[in-house]
Amino acid sequence: MRTTLNLPKDLIDEAMKATQINTKTQLIITALEDLIRKSKLSGLKEFKGKIDLDIDMNAIRGHQCRY
């Protein structure tokens, strides 16, 4: 989908330099994906400590408790 955006050149240049992304399109796609990911993670953090999953992390990681 083609869209016209009015973005500050210095902001785009800085973001491209920081991320090593060479095209504006890929930069915007990456930024949107990251924004969505962060938003979803923020929503999941609300459930911290409220759900008992009964998971043995040592078994999942293949470690044995030394004690």
Report pLDDT digits (tens) over 37-61.
999 888 877 777 777 777 777 777 7
| Of 42, 5, 40, nearest in space to 25 by CA | 5
Report pLDDT digits (tens) over 14-42.
999 999 999 999 999 999 999 999 998 88
In a 10 Å sphere around its CB, with 0-12 CB exposed, 13-18 middle and 19+ buried, how is residue 12 labelled? middle
Give the pLDDT confidence score for residue 67 in this predicted structure: 56
Give the pLDDT confidence score for residue 47 in this predicted structure: 74
For residues 52 and 33, give the distance between their C-alpha atoms in angstroms, rounded to a whole number.
30
Give the pLDDT confidence score for residue 64 in this predicted structure: 62
Give the pLDDT confidence score for residue 55 in this predicted structure: 77
